[in-house]
Structure 1
Amino acid sequence: MSLQLIDTLEKHIVESGVKKPIKLVGTKSSGEAKFHIGSSSNSDEFDNFFNNFSELNLYKLKKENLKEFLQSTKFEYIYQIFQQYQEISLEYWESKYSDVMKLDDEEIFTLRRFTDSRYYIFSNEPIFKNLLRSITLPYLTKMIISKYLDDEADNYIYEFSFYLNENVKREEKSLLDNYDKEYLNRLNVGKNHIIYGAPGTGKSYKVDAIYPSLKRRVTFHPEYTYYDFVGSYRPVPVYKQNSSHVNLIESDGIPFNKGEPLVDYRFVPGPFTLSLVDALSDENQLYTLIIEELNRANTPAVFGDLFQLLDRNNDGTSTYSVTNIDIANYLRSTGLDIKNNEIEIPSNLNIVATMNSSDQGVFLMDSAFKRRWNFEYLPINIDDAEHKNEMIPYNNGFVKWGEFVTKINNLLSSEHLKINEDKHIGPYFIKPSDLKDKTNEEKKDIISSKLLIYLWDDVVRLKHTYFFVNPTTFSNLISRYNNGERIIQTDFEMIRDSEQKYKTEGIVDNNDE
């Protein structure tokens, strides 16, 4: 096929043509299933561009372009920096990205025109009527239609592409003129944010993606206390310079020259206090304290009096302060001006946490504590996992990791089991590095020691017979799995290609030499 670029048409998507979720807050209209191209006074020009919508015309778009477009606008779905929309969120973005990933590399559709006082194009096909109108953020989306001549077929091909509009305008006015000023002020202020979901969904990875710099990280555990989190007075060594000619030596006989050792007690700050110092010392930067496994400690007890600070004003500062002499004195020792021993969380400090409510042995958080946080659920997303096509040895064959996880989760959701999603398997329950370039035996060890034991002990421990095939003991289950038997009560799409076996084992077939 020989294509010659003839012309291009560039238009910005306006609000009238998009679906409700991406309409701006306050918009009442339901939206039209068509894209505005221009005034009907220019109909001849547009008809000529579209070759009068000849039946020989071919209209298409590429999946790769839509992927790149969604990736370039993801920040707007998360933060809504430029505009406020009616129903979008990161979850909405992920669902649309999943829809795009299911498309063919090139999608072909029909196209028609509609005119009143304005000139529109529309299509009744789902990719245009539903998908495009659900992702082309109004005023931020630039649509470019490239017109090609196919010399061999003697017809025109119209390729639709979508891009983030770098010069954001709305009705020829800067979007800044239409911003909710209070909303804008809240975009770069501190928040209390909890990301939760099933094990292996990538909670920590997402935290790092949203809060990439200027952060401290701590992991809660059952023995973690207020004094670990805030700080406490602890013994620290000091040394008295001895003027006499007394020679001190260590227990192994090595001379000790620091002086006579004594013990002093000093306030040693914890991660919360250190984060306060960071934020108060540099008010022009946004800092983040990350708490992993929030509910594995007795969280209300760990926060103690700081619980009161979690109520925040619109500018991100604590609504109420607390008196804490130890923290106040330490902050003063760093040169900060703290009055009346009153402590509050500043507007430039995020407190972000991850948690998985399905873990055994976790502490419950009361409603008063939880209502002071913004909760975000991270769903299981197999399609975007980088190792979804890694081969898992199973039943004398191989199963792709993405297929393996999906079918296991479907079984856990079945009528007999009804296991809540927070106990399902996320794609990163087993990491890419655990599977990449590993032999079959190494992969079997990983599956047994991480996945199967989790399923046996935690997830289906009271319903083994509904999940496993002929379960007796865990050791028997592992033995049968290693011997290539079917051990799970579901069918997988198996790959029994001998070439895959050699590849996975790292064995060279000498017959090919």
Structure 2
Amino acid sequence: MRTFIDAVNQIKSELNIVEDTTNQANNWAKITVQILNENVNILVLKSTVTGTDRAKPQIRVFTEKILQEVNESLNNNERFFCFVHCSHDETTLKFNHIKPSDYIVSLESDWSSAGGRIDIRSVYDFLEEHPEVHFKKLNKTEHSTKSILQAAIFKNTDNGFEYFEPYISFFDSRLISRDETVPDDLADEVTEQVEQATLTNYGINKIYFGAPGTGKSFSIQKFIRENGIPNFDEKKGHPNVFRTTLHPEFSYYDFVGQVMPVVTPISEGSIETKIEYGFVPTIFTKALERAFLDGVKDHQPVFLILEEMSRANVAAVFGDLFQLLDRDVVTGESEYRINNDLISNYVFKEDRQIFIPKNLFIIGTVNTNDQNVFVMDTAFKRRFEFEYVNANTIVYDESGQPLNNFSFTLKDKDNEITLNWATLYRSLNTFITKKEENGGLGLKEDKQLGQFFIKFREADAEYNFNQIKGKLLQYLYEDIETVSYSSTSLFKSDISSFGETYIKISAYQNIFSNEFLNTYQIIETNDLMEGK
């Protein structure tokens, strides 16, 4: 059986710490460590047991010491962790499948609302039912201790506590401790949040551009995976990935930050407050700060993702940072430095010139049909690499089937016409750009659409068809048909209005012209010949 001191020593070993503060009774220990240039306070408690005559003895934790340490950490804006070790044997606690002393449990809560003592038996009951678990983050539905919002379980194995170091390095319980809303998915596997990253290439500025729905964001996910975060998932995010969407009102201050009123305590520990003015950073400054952190600076990539760049005045958004976009082709760093006191004092805690480091990637997207909202000047564009995302490229799943596909059937007199989305969107693209003299609409590529222009649901034909008759039809009629001056039409000749088109397709009647259907049949035949 592992003792409380064994658990404390194992934590110290994993964090490369020699000293700690342990009280004489050996029922708590406090460890302070610097991680990524930030103080992290770790309180380790020894649990007590009561009711050994019961079928399920209580495993109790007293909260007085927790409250003392968490309040001090919050006042200093430092991260805080509370771990519990249960040193009692499994026989006393009436467990058949686990040894509680093999585990440490991290408790995450708004401690101000917790009672003086709490019973965390339910956390160990979960382990009793799942003895194969080496690491698990429990949400509120997986245990019954009301005052504990989340709990993380770590088993001591031959390799130490599973996932302990990344959990300590990246998880931040301050949102919970301050009683702010924490989404349930934060309680998923810690590896989803804190996946390690490795710097493999020097940073660049890059823009993916193409028609709407071509998978530009998908290309960014692939780029991130290929440049240091191999299992990056858009839905789960990563501490090293910062993302924002630009819009016509997006400004330099939205990008960098600005001086704003901040409420602070009059003195340390005081409940009385005062209003001061301080710099509140936004996404560029936060990404830059992350890129310069110890442990990240020379070892991990950081990605700043700017979606829909052409929808804002990017020259105004970047302002003086424009000078930093010139990068040394060998080192990846900015060729020039600039003075910006607000950013430098926040990032470096001193007044010094700022620059984009080698590990910070700036990646943007541009929809070609939005490129005239705000025109990027040549000087700005030449500081980025541009990669065109072809609207006619099909993305397949692992089994070789097109992703995001859907088939539907329309009636045309006594005939039925079955249309497949993977073929339909490419046929539309061909017909839209085909020259008038060749039987097309003669429009530019910025009117094309991609495979993900519509996002379908699996096995939900009603929803999917509603996307066709709503989103697709509106785009084809308002943005394609009405701007084309070709004698050829995308729609049947007897259709004269959007309302008429909508009524017909709602009744599953064919709305497309014979000229377009011929284009569709040619592409469908070519696909069959090529085995698509």
How do residues 442-453 of structure 1 correspond to structure 2 at under 5 angstroms? 442-453=463-474
Q: Distance in 2 between matches of 1:294 and 1:389?
A: 28
Contact 1:393–1:443 at 8 Å: present in 2 too?
no
Name 1:297's counterpart in structure 2: 312
1:437 to 453, 456, 459: 459
Query: Does the 8 Å CA contact 1:196/1:378 hold for their aligned counterparts?
Result: yes
Matching of residue 220 in structure 1 with residue 246 in structure 2: yes
Separation (CA, whole Å) in 2 of partners of 1:485 and 1:307: 53
1:228-267 pair list within 5 angstroms = 228-239=254-265, 259=271, 262-267=274-279
CA distance, structure 2, for counterparts of residue 376 and residue 223 of structure 1? 26
Match of 1:480 among 484, 488, 504: 504
Whichever residue aligns with residue 231 of structure 1, its letter is G
Q: Tell me, yes or no, if the aligned pair for 2:442 and 2:484 is still in contact at 8 Å.
A: no
DSSP-derived class of the 1:266 partner? strand
2:425 to 392, 398, 405: 405
* Separation of aligned partners in 2, 1:389 and 1:332: 49
SS of residue in 2 equivalent to 1:278: helix
Deviates more, 1:485-494 or 1:267-276: 485-494
Give the TM-score normalised by structure 2. 0.50
**1:312 deviation in Å?**
0.8
Q: CA deviation at 1:442?
A: 2.4
Q: Which amino acid aligns with 1:468?
A: F
- Summarize the alignment of residues 127-206 of structure 1 with structure 2, pairs less than 5 Å apart: 188-206=201-219
3-state DSSP of counterpart to 1:323: coil
Q: 1:463 aligns with which of 464, 477, 484?
A: 484
* Shift in alpha-carbon separation, 1:461–1:235, aligned structure 2, 3 A: farther
Question: Pairwise mapping of residues 52-131 of structure 1 onto structure 2 (< 5 A)?
Answer: none
- Residue 481 of structure 1 and its aligned partner are, at CA, apart by 1.1
Kept in 2, the 8 Å contact 1:392–1:443? The answer is no
Q: Secondary structure at the match of 1:216?
A: strand
Cα contact 2:297–2:359 (8 A) shared by 1: yes
Residue number among 329, 338, 343 corresponding to 1:327 in the alignment: 343
Give the Cα–Cα distance (whole angstroms) in 2 for the partners of residues 376 and 341 of structure 1: 34
Q: After the TM superposition, which of the residue ranges 389-398 and 480-489 deviates more from structure 2?
A: 389-398
For structure 1, the 5+ residue unaligned runs are 1-185, 244-257, 495-513
Aligned match for 2:359, one of 318, 323, 348: 348
Q: Counterparts of 2:393 and 2:311 in 1: how far apart (Å)?
A: 26
Deviation at 1:382, TM superposition (A): 4.4
Deviation of 1:438 (Å): 1.3
CA contact (8 A) 2:241 2:304 kept: yes
- For the pair 1:318 / 2:334, whether they are aligned, the reply is yes
CA distance in 1, matches of 2:291, 2:282: 15
- 1:393 to 1:237, Cα distance in 2 relative to 1, 3 A: farther
**Distance change in 2, residues 1:398/1:352 (3 Å):** same
Q: Which residue of 380, 384, 390 maps to 2:395?
A: 384
Contact 2:211 2:449 in 1 (8 A): yes
For residues 359 and 442 of structure 2, the distance between their equivalents in structure 1, rounded to whole angstroms, comes to 43
1:197 Cα deviation from its structure 2 partner: 0.8
SS of the residue 1:475 aligns to: helix
Instruction: Give the ranges of 4+ consecutive aligned residues of structure 1 lying more than 6 Å apart after TM superposition.
Output: none
Aligned equivalent of 1:271: 283
Q: Paired residue for 1:166?
A: none
Aligned partner letter, 2:275: V
Is the CA contact 2:301–2:359 (under 8 Å) kept in the aligned structure 1?
yes
User: Could you tell me how far apart the structure 2 residues matched to 1:310 and 1:317 are?
Assistant: 9
Sort the Cα spacing of 1:437 and 1:366 in 2 relative to 1 into closer, same or farther, 3 A: same
**Counterpart secondary structure, 1:263:** strand
**239 and 423 in structure 1: CA distance in 2 versus 1, 3 angstrom threshold:** same
Distance 1:307 1:208 in 2: 25
Task: Give per-residue Cα distances to partners, 1:406-451, cap 9 Å, x unaligned.
Answer: 22112112222122223212111112xx242113x42331112221
Does the CA contact (< 8 Å) of 1:237 and 1:264 recur in 2? yes
**What CA distance in whole angstroms lies between the structure 1 residues aligned with 2:262 and 2:347?**
19
After TM superposition, give the deviation of residue 487 of structure 1 in Å.
Answer: 1.5
Q: What is the Cα deviation at residue 394 of structure 1?
A: 3.0
Counterpart CA distance in 1 for 2:430 and 2:391 is 12
* Offset at residue 361 of structure 1 (A): 6.2
2:257 partner letter:
G
Contact 1:399 1:493 in 2 (8 A): no
- Residues 110-138 of structure 1, C-alpha deviations (whole Å, 9 max, x = no match): xxxxxxxxxxxxxxxxxxxxxxxxxxxxx
Give the aligned partner of residue 307 of structure 1: 322
User: Residue 455 of structure 1: CA displacement?
Assistant: 1.9
* Counterpart-to-counterpart distance in 2, 1:456 and 1:269: 44
Deviates more, 1:417-426 or 1:352-361: 352-361
Counterpart for residue 283 of structure 1: 297
Residues 279, 349 of structure 1: 8 Å contact kept: yes
Q: Alignment RMSD, CA only?
A: 2.7
Deviation (angstroms), 1:488: 2.0
Out of 404, 410, 422, the position equivalent to 1:394 is: 410
SS of structure 2 residue aligned to 1:372: coil
Instruction: Show the counterpart of 2:443.
Output: 419
SS across alignment from 1:322? coil
Code of the aligned partner of 2:219: K
Question: Is the alpha carbon distance of 1:260 and 1:379 closer, same or farther for their aligned partners in structure 2, counting shifts above 3 Å?
Answer: same
- TM-score scaled by length of structure 1: 0.52
Please report how far the alpha carbon of residue 293 of structure 1 lies from its aligned counterpart in structure 2 after TM superposition.
0.8
Does the residue aligned with 2:288 lie in a helix, a strand or coil?
helix
Check the 8 A contact 2:443/2:484 in 1, yes or no: no
2-side partners of 1:318 and 1:371: how far apart? Answer: 15
Q: 1:388 to 1:350 in 2, by over 3 A?
A: closer
Equivalent-residue separation in structure 1 for 2:288 and 2:304 (angstroms):
9
- CA distance in 1 between partners of 2:286 and 2:390 (Å): 33
CA distance in 1, matches of 2:249, 2:210: 23
Once residues 353 and 317 of structure 2 are traced to their aligned partners in structure 1, the CA distance between those partners, rounded to angstroms, is: 19
Partners of 2:310 and 2:370 within 8 A in 1: no
Distance 1:360 1:324, change over 3 A: closer
Q: Deviations over 1:285-318 (max 9, x none)?
A: 2211111111111101000000000011121111
Residues 387 and 345 from structure 1, CA distance in 2 versus in 1: closer, same or farther, beyond 3 angstroms? closer
Distance in 2 (CA, whole Å) between partners of 1:287 and 1:411 is 41
For these two proteins, the number of residue pairs brought into alignment is: 287
Shift of 1:239: 4.9
**Any idea what SS the aligned residue of 2:259 has?**
strand
The structure-2 alpha-carbon separation of the partners of 1:259 and 1:451, relative to structure 1 and needing over 3 Å to count, comes to same
Instruction: Give, in angstroms, the shift of residue 199 of structure 1.
Output: 1.0
Q: Secondary structure at the match of 1:229?
A: helix
Q: Percent identity?
A: 37
Which amino acid counterpart does residue 332 of structure 2 have in structure 1? G
**Structure 1 partner of 2:376:** 365
